[in-house]
Chain A
Amino acid sequence: MTQLLAVHNLTKTFTMHTLHSRVIKGCTDVSFTLATGEVLGLSGPSGTGKSSILKCIYRAYLPSAGEIHYSSERLGRVDLGRIDDHQMIMLRQHEIGYVTQFLKVIPRVSAVDTVAEPLLHKGVSLAEARSRATSLLKQLYIPENLFDACPVTFSGGEQQRVNFAAGVISSPRLLLLDEPTASLDVKTRQAVIDILNRLKEQGTTMIAIFHEHQIMDAIADRLYQMND
């Protein structure tokens, strides 16, 4: 198997200028590699920097030190901490997906269109994107009478599933999962696991944070243990 991602001595600290330049620790000296198609689980207590790693890979955070080598289909081998913004935008649109438990709601945009949007970036037609979004929302047990409503008024779990659907619909090459099942019941959680397993079979590489051990065991090939 070929190497897709190699994280090398990744460290993230935050300098809080509004608090007399206090330095807060994100993650320290993290190194791991990931082969194409592999699923890596990040585990460890809260506050050890699991989310920071994912955010650095997605460039929601700028790494303070270390490298994140990624073998891109379009750009070749690049350091995600250092490539320019336009290249990162391109990778986010075509190769790297990121799912959190929080939905960025866009006013007046329906659940279906929120989920369909990533496909539009990839050049899929509106009609097809909507039909794929609809079937994904059905699989996640979102009530059909909510499909054309704006998710701003949805329950926490429904918003989370809309967000999950938007994150996985375009089958990204590398999928970053930050507790996508945090507040879901057993039935919908199983639907999430089924979708993730299907992606895995199709060759999607993943880095995942789950709090429930059962899910981690069901999906991850390997665990990376985080410590203080």
Chain B
Amino acid sequence: MNEPVLAIANLGKYYGPGCERCINSTGPVAATNICPHCGTVIACHGVTFSLQKGEVLGIVGESGSGKSTVIKAIHFDIEPSMGEMYLNLTIDHSRRENGLLAIVNGKRGFPVVDGKDNIFTLTPFARRQLRNVCMGIVYQNPMLGLRMNFSAGGNVAERLLMDGWDHVGEMRQRIRSLFERTEVDTKRMDEPPSSFSGGMQQRVQIARALSTEPSLLLLDEVTTGLDVSVQARVLDLLRSLTRELNLATIVVSHDLGVINLLTTRTLVMKSGRIVESGLTNQVLEDPQHPYTQLLVSSAL
């Protein structure tokens, strides 16, 4: 079998003082993620899964189930309270031998990602390097992923710069080809995303996420709030991109249609815990957990 690209073990994120009874008095059975004794929010607890190269994994659940917490922890947007994360990637460093990144790095100390070290214990700097090079994220809210008053091209260039690109002409060419692939009108690459439609803003985010050829793509409710025809185009684009680039992808969504279309495996979360996992069509056709059954029977 393939080695997993990403492995998450026992991930937990808690907001509050915490007490001995927090874990036992929260979760899907208690139907809450707030500890009744100390008020701590158990955003997620005991989340364990792995992801292989080219695999598209769905995380489905209602608002507050902890699904976004999981990918925010993986993207180092939040500091987890507990748990481990392992990355096992082959990264081509040839481009990073020169230029800005070599200077910043001093001794070119790019973190080793051979699946042996717990990534959560690395320094913030090392994690930021990993994030820039190995991961791309697309948020539901484009305001989180884009600088609205920079140019669209500048948004992508920012990430390329952080990855050691230093030739303006080469960068523009790269951005142009990314925009062509993600169906952003290249005539508008110097305009700010604030002047773009919602669907186009998402496509700029996708171009930015893919600019450094990451191995791991994180999609947080990317089509929520877009109108149906735009949603279909964005989904279709994501579907073909994940195939073409053989990306390990995590799709967070409350929409079972999106999950069904994009993913092969699915985790179902409720009150901060994984309540069920399996092949996507099995989870949809033969849901085991009461919550998943409710979710499937509620779908339009």
Interface residues of A (CB under 8 A from B): 14, 16-18, 55, 59-62, 85-89, 104, 106-109, 120
Contacts and interface: CB of A to CB of B under 8 A. Distances in A.
A60 B281 contact: yes
A59 B279 CA distance: 8
A85 B297 contact: no
Contacts of A120: 243
Interface stretch (B79-87, B89-97, B113-121, B229-237): B229-237
B264 interface: yes
Given A18-B293, A62-B286, A89-B265, 19 more contacts: A16-B293, A17-B290, A17-B293, A18-B290, A18-B297, A60-B282, A61-B282, A62-B278, A62-B282, A85-B265, A85-B279, A89-B55, A89-B264, A89-B279, A106-B261, A107-B232, A107-B261, A108-B232, A109-B236
Contacts of B52: 86
B29 interface: no
A18 B295 CA distance: 10
Say what secondary structure dominates the interface of chain B: helix
Interface string B236-260: 1001000100000000000000001
B285 interface: yes
B299 interface: no
Contact of A14 (B1, B260, B286): B286
- DSSP class of A's interface residues: helix, strand, loop or mixed? mixed
Contacts of A18: 290, 293-294, 297
Contacts of A61: 282, 285-286
B10 interface: no
A60 B290 contact: no
A86 B3 CA distance: 11
B105 interface: no
Nearest to B298: A18
Contacts of B261: 106-107
A194 B246 CA distance: 36
A120 B54 CA distance: 13
A87 B265 CA distance: 12
A75 to B, nearest CB: 9
A55 B286 contact: yes
B282 A107 contact: no
B149 to A, nearest CB: 33
Contacts of A55: 285-286
Contacts of B297: 18
Contacts of A14: 286
A107 B232 CA distance: 6
B63 interface: no
Nearest to A55: B285
B195 interface: no
Nearest to A106: B261
A62 B284 CA distance: 12
A53 B235 CA distance: 33
Interface in B256-300: 260-261, 264-265, 277-279, 281-282, 285-286, 288-290, 293-294, 297
A62 B293 contact: no
B223 to A, nearest CB: 11
A149 to B, nearest CB: 15
A106 B294 CA distance: 25
A60 B260 CA distance: 13
A120 B246 CA distance: 12
B194 to A, nearest CB: 28
Nearest to B50: A86
Given A87-B1, A106-B239, A59 B282 contact: yes
Contacts of A16: 293
Q: Which 7 A-B pairs have the closest CB atoms?
A: A17-B290, A107-B232, A61-B286, A108-B236, A60-B285, A17-B293, A60-B281
- Point out which of A14, A16, A108 has the most chain B C-beta atoms below 10 A from its C-beta: A108
A79 to B, nearest CB: 15
A89 B286 CA distance: 17
A109 B278 CA distance: 26
Contacts of A109: 236
Nearest to A16: B293
Contacts of B265: 85, 89
Given A17-B290, A55-B286, A88 B236 contact: no
26 contacts: A17-B293, A18-B294, A18-B297, A55-B285, A55-B286, A59-B279, A60-B282, A60-B285, A61-B282, A61-B285, A61-B286, A62-B282, A62-B286, A85-B265, A85-B277, A86-B55, A87-B1, A88-B279, A89-B55, A89-B265, A89-B279, A106-B239, A107-B232, A108-B233, A108-B236, A109-B236
